[in-house]
Structure 1
Amino acid sequence: MVAGGAPPATVQETSLAHLIDPKRTWYNNRRLITLNAWIVLLLITSSTTGYDGSMMNGLQSLPQWESSFHNPSNGKLGLLNAIQNIGALAGYPFAPYVSDGVGRRRAVWFGAAIMCIGAAIQTASQSVGMFIGARFLIGFGNTFAANAAPMLVTELSYPTYRAPLTSLYNSLWYSGAIIAAWTTFGSFRINNTWAWRLPSLLQGLPSIIQVVLVLFAPESPRWLVSKGREAEALKTLAYYHADGNEQDPVVQFEFNEIKAALEFDRTVAANVGWKSLFATPGNRKRMRIIIAIAFFTQWSGNGLLSYYLSKVLNEIGITDSSTQLLINGALQIWSLMAALYASYAIDRLGRRLLVLSSAGLMTLFYMAQAICFSEYAQHGTAAAGHAVVAFIFLFSSAYALTFSPLAIAYTVEILPFNLRAKGLSIFNFVISLALIFNQYVNPIALGALGWKYYLVYVCWLACEFIFLWFFIVETKDRTLEETAALFDGEDAIGQITHKAAQGAREDGSSEKDV
C-alpha cells in the first residue's frame, strides 16, 4: 500500500479506454501501420531462438551433420545443444545495463551484430570446437537482443494492441522453428556438408535484417522520459499514436502516466537496483511468479520435443529421417497456429483462463503420451506409437496457448519500468539454467529410463497447475503502468492514474476529454 494514497478519483477520470478513438485502427491509420512495421522488426528477435531449437532437432536427423561431427550422443550431444544457453548466461549480467544505458534500439542492434558473427562462424565450422564456439556467440548476442526487443515492443505499442503484440513476440518462436524445420527437410537431399551449413547460414538472416534497419526505429518513450528527454518522448507518442497531435488526450494521458509511474518508482516504491527486485512484498510477489513461469516454460516436458524429437521418434519406431523431418515441420506449423490464436485472444479471455487451461491440458496430454509410450515399449503396438505422435501435437498446442504468448508478455507487463530490464534478465537467466539442465540431462535420462521418464514430467506438470491456480494474477484491461503498479496495491494504481489525469488537464486537455 502507498502511504498517503492518492486523492479519490472517479473511473471516468482515470480511464484511458474511453479516450481512444475506436476508428483509429492498425489497418486504416498510416502512422499505426508504420509503427507496427517497426514492431515486426523487433518481433523477429524471437525467431532466432526458435530457429535454433528446430534446427538442432533437424540436424540430428541429417547423416551429413552426424558424420561431420562424429555421431555425437548423450553428453556430447547435450553440450552441443546447451552451449547456446551457456553463452546466454555469460551475457545476462550485462544485458539490463546495456538496455537501460544506451537504449532499447542500440541493445537490439548490438545483440544482432554478435549473432551475425556467430552464424557466420557456425556456417564455416570445420570442427566440433568451432561449431560449439559459434553457438556460444549466438547465445551471447541473443541475450542482449532478447532483453531489449520485447520491452521496446510493449513500451512502443498503441494501448489497444500492446498485449496482443507483446504476446506475438514469443509466439513467433515458432516462425523461426518452421523455417528451420523445412530448411533441414529440404537440405536433407544435399549430399555434402551444405546439408547442415545452409540451415546454419540462414540462422543469421533475422539478425542481418535487424542490423541494417533497427537503428532507424523509434526509441521507447519510457526510456526517453527516464533519461530526461521528455520532449522527444512526447513527440514519439504523438507521431505514432495520434498522427502528430501532441495535445491529443490519449497522448497526454499516456505521457503523464509514464511520468507519474517513473516518479512513483523513484520516490515511493524505491525500485532502483538489483536488491529492490526482492525488497518489497509487491516485488517479491512479482519475482516469485516470474521465476516460476521461466522454469515452467522449459520444465514442462517440451524440451524433449524442442531439442530431441528425433530421439523420441526413434523410441516409438519412427526412424526414417525424412518422416522425422516432416513431423518436425508439421509440428511447428501446428504450434504456431495455437500461439497466434492465444495472442489474438489474450485480452478477450484473460491471462488466468489461458494459463490454467493450458496447464491442465498439458498434464492430461502428457499423461496420455506416457501411457501410449509404455504400451509401445512393452508390447510394440504400432497404433500406440502413432498415438504418441497425435498426443505430441495436442500437447504442443496446449503449451502454445500459454507459455509461447504469455511468458514474455506477462513478465514485462507486471514489472515497473525501472526494474523491467533487470527483471526480464532474471527471467531469461532462469530459462537458460532450465534449458541447460534439460538439454544436457534429457538425452541421458531418456536413454536410461525410456517411457518412464515421461512420468517425471507428468508429476511436475500437476505441480505447475497447482502453483498457477494460486499465484497467477489477472491483468487484462489495464494500461502498462497500471498493470505494473497492480502488485503494489490499489493505492499505487490510484496515485499514478490520478496524476496522469491531472497532468493531462494541466497540459491543456479539457475536463470533458480527461
Structure 2
Amino acid sequence: MGKDTFTLAGREWPRVTWWKMKGMRSVYLTLWAAMITSATNGYDGSLMNGLQSMDSWNESYNYPTGSTLGILACSMSIGSLISIPVVPYVADLLGRRAGVVVGCVIMLFGVAMVSIGYKIALFVVGRMILGFGLGIAQECSPLLVTELVHPQHRAIYSSIYNSLWYIGSLIGACVALGTNHIGGSAWSWRVPCLLQAVPSLCQLVFIWTVPESPRWLISKGQLEKAKKILADVHAQGDLDDELINIEFDEIQQTIQLENEYEGNSWLEFFATPGNRHRTIILVTIGFFSQWSGNGIISYFLPQVLKMIGIGDSNTQLTINLILSAVNVVSATGICFFVDYFGRRKLFLTSSFSMLACYVAMTIALARFLIAKEGGVKDNSAANTVIAFMFLFYIAYNIGYSGLLVSYSSEILPYRLRAKGLTIMFFCVDLSLWFNQYVNPVALDAIAWKYYIVYDLFLVFEIFIVWKFYVETKEIPLEEIVRKFDGERAVLGGALATEKVQALSGTVGRSASADGGEKATITQHEL
C-alpha cells in the first residue's frame, strides 16, 4: 500500500487530511469528550501515589501499610470487577454514548464519597462506586471512538485513547504536588479527590456533541441515520460518495449476517478456533498490561522510592510528576507510528525492552539494599533504579499503553466487541486487584526479591506475544476477521468470504480495481 493511499474492500483509496474535511474536523475536535475517560483512570493512578506521599492523608487514615494500604488502592478495581456483568449490555442496548453518561453519573457519586471520607470504610466504598462507573464508561468510550473514526485514522485515535491515561496521571501528579503545600489541612488531599469529578462533568455535557457509533445504529436498524453519520464524518456529508457506499455496505451486510448466522453469547468465545485465538489474546493482553511490573510503580511509587532512600514527600511527588510527563510524550508519540511499524512488532519490542529494563532494576535495587544492610549508601545503585524505571515505562508505552484497547477492539467482530472488551477489562481489573492488594505486602516482606517474579513473568509474556499475537496493520475493521477465521469468517461486501457465499446461496460478480473479479453479495440477496 502506498503512503498516499489506504485499503478498503480490496481497493486503494486516496488518504484524506482531517482538518480539510468539514464534518471530520468537527467530530475529531469534539472526540475528546469520549476519550478523556482514560484520563480519569490515569488521574486515579497518580492520585493514589500522591495521597501516599501526603502526611495529611496518612494522618487521616492512621498511616496505612500492608494489607490496609492494599485494600485502599485496590477498592477501585473491585468496583470495576463488579460492573463486569452489566457493562456489555449497557453498551449494546443503550448505545455507546448513553453508556458513557451512565458511567459518569455513577462516578460522580463515588467521587463525593471519597472526598467526604473520614474513615477507611467510606473511602473504600467510595472508590468501589467510582470503579463501578469507570468500568462502564471505559468500555463504551473506546467502542465509540473505534467505530466512528475514518478507516485511515483508526489506529491513531484508538491507540491515543488509552495513552491519555498518562494525561490524567500528569494532571494528578501536578495537583498532588501543588496541594501538598497547603500544609497539615485535610484539604491538601480532599481537593485532588474532588477534582476527579471534573472529567466526568465535562463528559456529561460534551459527549452529546459526538455522533453515535454508526455500527451500533446499523445493529438497531437505524440505517439512514447511520449512513448519514458515516457520510458527515468520512465524506463531508456526501451520501453518494463511493467510499461511503462501499463502507456502509460492508458494515451493514456483515452485521446483518452476524445477527442471522452467528451467536453473541459468552460461549461463542470458545466455540471456534478463531474465537479461542481471540480469547487467548484478550485474556493475556489484559494481564500483561498490569503484570509486566508496572503495577509496582504505578500505584506504589512512594514505597519503591523509600526503599532506595528517598523519603521526602516533595521529592517523591516531583519524581512522580516527571515520570508522568515522560509517559505522556512516549505513549502519545508512538501512537502516530502504529500503522508504520505494525502491532506485533511493537508488542515484541516492548516486551523484550521491558525485560531488559526490569532485570537492570532488580540488580540495582538488590545492590542498594544489600549495601544498606552493611551500613553503606550506594547512590549509584539508587540512581540506576530511577533511570531504568523511566526507561522501563518508555518500553512499556511502545506496546501496551495505546494498543491495549485499540488492538483488543479491532480483533473482535461487531457482535462480540462489547463482550470481548469486557473480558479484557475483567482481566485488567483482576490483575490490578491482585497488584494493588498483594504488591505492598510482598514489597514489605521480600523487598527486591519480588522483582524477580516479574522478571520471570516477562519471559513468559514474550513467548505468548510471539506465538499468538497476529498483525492487523492497515486492515479495515470489518476485514480483520479473516486473520482469525479465514474463509470461514463472516464478512459481507466486496470481499465476501466463501462461508458468506455459501450461506447466501447467490453470489454476484463485480469487477475489482485491477480488472479481476471478486465475489460480492448484493443487498436484496441477503
Q: Same fold (TM over 0.5)?
A: yes
Given that 2:111 and 2:194 are in contact with CA atoms closer than 8 Å, whether structure 1 keeps it comes out as yes
Given that 1:260 and 1:499 are in contact with CA atoms closer than 8 Å, whether structure 2 keeps it comes out as no
For 1:396 and 1:54, the matched residues in 2 are separated by 14
Given that 1:264 and 1:496 are in contact with CA atoms closer than 8 Å, whether structure 2 keeps it comes out as no
Kindly provide the amino acid, as one letter, of the partner of residue 258 in structure 2.
D
Partner residue in 2 for 1:505 = none
Query: Which of 218, 230, 245 pairs up with 2:223?
Result: 230
Partner residue in 2 for 1:219 = 212
Kindly provide the amino acid, as one letter, of the partner of residue 120 in structure 1.
A
Alignment of 1:83-482 (within 5 A): 83-191=75-183, 192-268=185-261, 270-379=262-371, 380-482=377-479
For 2:187 and 2:149, the matched residues in 1 are separated by 40
Task: Encode CA deviations 1:348-381: one digit per residue, 9 max, x unaligned.
Answer: 0001110000000000000000010011011131
Note if 1:15 corresponds to 2:10.
yes
What is the count of residue pairs matched by the alignment? Answer: 494
TM-score by length of 1: 0.93
Moved more, 356-365 or 255-264: 255-264
Given that 2:257 and 2:490 are in contact with CA atoms closer than 8 Å, whether structure 1 keeps it comes out as no
Q: How far did residue 87 of structure 1 move?
A: 0.6
Given that 1:56 and 1:81 are in contact with CA atoms closer than 8 Å, whether structure 2 keeps it comes out as yes
Q: How far did residue 510 of structure 1 move?
A: 10
Given that 1:486 and 1:493 are in contact with CA atoms closer than 8 Å, whether structure 2 keeps it comes out as no
Q: How far did residue 390 of structure 1 move?
A: 0.2
For 2:146 and 2:71, the matched residues in 1 are separated by 34
Moved more, 486-495 or 231-240: 486-495
For 2:7 and 2:438, the matched residues in 1 are separated by 55
Task: Encode CA deviations 1:206-236: one digit per residue, 9 max, x unaligned.
Answer: 1000111213421111001101111110011
Q: How far did residue 263 of structure 1 move?
A: 2.9
Task: Encode CA deviations 1:64-95: one digit per residue, 9 max, x unaligned.
Answer: 10001111110010000000011111111011
Given that 1:105 and 1:215 are in contact with CA atoms closer than 8 Å, whether structure 2 keeps it comes out as yes
Given that 1:482 and 1:496 are in contact with CA atoms closer than 8 Å, whether structure 2 keeps it comes out as no
For 2:152 and 2:317, the matched residues in 1 are separated by 39
Shift of the 510–489 alpha-carbon distance from structure 1 to 2, 3 Å rule, reads closer
Gaps spanning 5+ residues in structure 2: where?
A: 1-5, 372-376, 502-509, 519-526
For 2:492 and 2:101, the matched residues in 1 are separated by 36
Aligned identity (percent) is: 42
Note if 1:76 corresponds to 2:68.
yes
Given that 1:185 and 1:325 are in contact with CA atoms closer than 8 Å, whether structure 2 keeps it comes out as yes
Given that 2:7 and 2:475 are in contact with CA atoms closer than 8 Å, whether structure 1 keeps it comes out as no
Q: How far did residue 511 of structure 1 move?
A: 8.0
Kindly provide the amino acid, as one letter, of the partner of residue 272 in structure 2.
T
**Secondary structure of residue in 1 paired with 2:452:** helix
Given that 2:219 and 2:256 are in contact with CA atoms closer than 8 Å, whether structure 1 keeps it comes out as no
**Secondary structure of residue in 1 paired with 2:212:** coil
For 2:217 and 2:25, the matched residues in 1 are separated by 22
Q: RMSD across aligned C-alpha pairs, in angstroms?
A: 2.1
Q: How far did residue 105 of structure 1 move?
A: 0.5
For 2:227 and 2:245, the matched residues in 1 are separated by 8
For 1:86 and 1:406, the matched residues in 2 are separated by 24
Task: Encode CA deviations 1:391-431: one digit per residue, 9 max, x unaligned.
Answer: 00000110011110101000000001110000101111111
Q: How far did residue 467 of structure 1 move?
A: 1.1
For 1:38 and 1:351, the matched residues in 2 are separated by 27
**Secondary structure of residue in 2 paired with 1:489:** helix
Shift of the 238–12 alpha-carbon distance from structure 1 to 2, 3 Å rule, reads closer
For 1:12 and 1:431, the matched residues in 2 are separated by 33
**Secondary structure of residue in 1 paired with 2:333:** helix
Given that 1:414 and 1:485 are in contact with CA atoms closer than 8 Å, whether structure 2 keeps it comes out as no
Given that 1:482 and 1:497 are in contact with CA atoms closer than 8 Å, whether structure 2 keeps it comes out as no
Kindly provide the amino acid, as one letter, of the partner of residue 392 in structure 2.
F
**Secondary structure of residue in 1 paired with 2:31:** helix
For 1:464 and 1:229, the matched residues in 2 are separated by 43
Given that 1:365 and 1:395 are in contact with CA atoms closer than 8 Å, whether structure 2 keeps it comes out as yes
For 2:450 and 2:43, the matched residues in 1 are separated by 26
Task: Encode CA deviations 1:241-285: one digit per residue, 9 max, x unaligned.
Answer: 1111111111111101101221332344x1321111211111010
Between the two structures, name the one with larger relative contact order (CA 8 Å, sep ≥ 6): 1
Shift of the 234–439 alpha-carbon distance from structure 1 to 2, 3 Å rule, reads same
For 1:230 and 1:333, the matched residues in 2 are separated by 44
Shift of the 271–343 alpha-carbon distance from structure 1 to 2, 3 Å rule, reads farther
**Secondary structure of residue in 2 paired with 1:72:** coil
Moved more, 28-37 or 459-468: 28-37
TM-score by length of 2: 0.91
**Secondary structure of residue in 1 paired with 2:337:** helix
Shift of the 497–299 alpha-carbon distance from structure 1 to 2, 3 Å rule, reads farther
**Secondary structure of residue in 2 paired with 1:204:** helix
Shift of the 318–399 alpha-carbon distance from structure 1 to 2, 3 Å rule, reads same
